[in-house]
Amino acid sequence: MNKLGLHANVWVAGWSEDEAALAIAKTAETGFDLIEIPALDAGRLRPAETRKRLDAAGIGCTLSLGLDAGTDISSGDPALMKAGEDKLRTTLSVARDLGATHVCGILYSAFQKYFEPPTQAGIEASAEVMSRVAGYAAENGITLGMEVVNRYESNVLNTAAQAVAYCRMVDAPNVKVHLDAYHMHIEEPNPVEAIRATGADLGYFHTGESHRGYIGSGSIDHAGLFRALVESGYDGPITYES
């Protein structure tokens, strides 16, 4: 059975004590299984306190983030790659302390618009870092989701097929493809087919509308997407991002 979740930004824009309390309480009250907590700066998540709140509310969590220009592991620059690997490891330590099952997002490059195409050497360097980070994640029972995003947010993984190829390169059982309905609507010629083609490599899924608004008020074929998820045997988390 898929765990259903809400991205914390559905409720709050930050993670102060009040915001954490509200977002966790509302997510539990509305019947969801987990909350996805943005972890652009995992050091500010107060893991002990947050975990206590999650346990009291009876829900789990996942974390999501994107790297930045100073931590870009697809850059080929050794100093930036080292900083990126350190950032991912720090985030994973916090994820472990929170009891998070998944860490996902733009973990493989900076979360930014690039003005040049990626290089093969950069993609391979990113995959090499990811395979080391995957080992640390596996020690803590954490799955990593490589989120496929539109061209204005990264130049490395814009299609499901690119993400499957990247995961093959990393070659770790806990590194999976993370698809997002909103991004697929921009980049995939056929999002339903993209889910089918990803198949067992899918490890995390974001629902959302074509304009990030209320589900049903945009142009995404949710029935088709969910049918494809069922047909693929997908049993991982499904979280709503808005």
User: Is 147 designated active site?
Assistant: yes
Host H or E run for residue 70: none
Query: Which CB sits closer to Mn ion, 23 or 83?
Result: 23
> Nearer Cβ to Mn ion, position 80 or 101?
101
Q: For Cα atoms 166, 237, 213, give the angle at the middle one, nearest 5 degrees.
A: 95
232, 209 contact by CB (below 8 A)? no
Give whichever of 81 and 177 is closer to Mn ion, judged by the CB atom: 177
Catalytic site residue from 85, 147, 187, 209: 147
Query: Least distance in Å: CB of 56 to Mn ion?
Result: 27
CB-wise, 21 or 186, nearer to Mn ion? 186
Q: Quote the CA–CA distance of 182 and 191 in Å, as a whole number.
A: 10
| Cα separation, 112 vs 164, whole angstroms | 21
Q: State the minimum distance, in angstroms, from the CB of residue 83 to Mn ion.
A: 24
| Total residues belonging to the chain | 242
- What does the DSSP 8-state code read for residue 32? -
Where do contacts with Mn ion occur on this chain (CB under 5 A)?
A: 180, 206, 241
**Min dist. Cβ of residue 55 to Mn ion (A):** 26
Strands (E), the chain: 4-7, 34-38, 60-67, 102-110, 143-147, 175-180, 202-207, 238-240
- Catalytic site residue 193? no
Q: Which two tokens stand for residue 215?
A: 């589900």
**∠ CA 59-21-9 to the nearest 5 degrees?**
80
Nearer to Mn ion, 27 or 53 (CB): 27
Query: Under a CB-based contact definition with an 8 Å cutoff, are residues 202 and 232 in contact?
Result: yes
Encoded tokens for 200: 């067992």
In the complex, minimum distance from the CB of residue 159 to Mn ion, in angstroms, rounded to a whole number: 15
| Whether the Cβ atoms of residue 146 and residue 177 lie closer than 8 Å to each other | yes
Question: Least distance (Å) from Mn ion to the CB of residue 239?
Answer: 8
The residues assigned a catalytic role are 147, 241
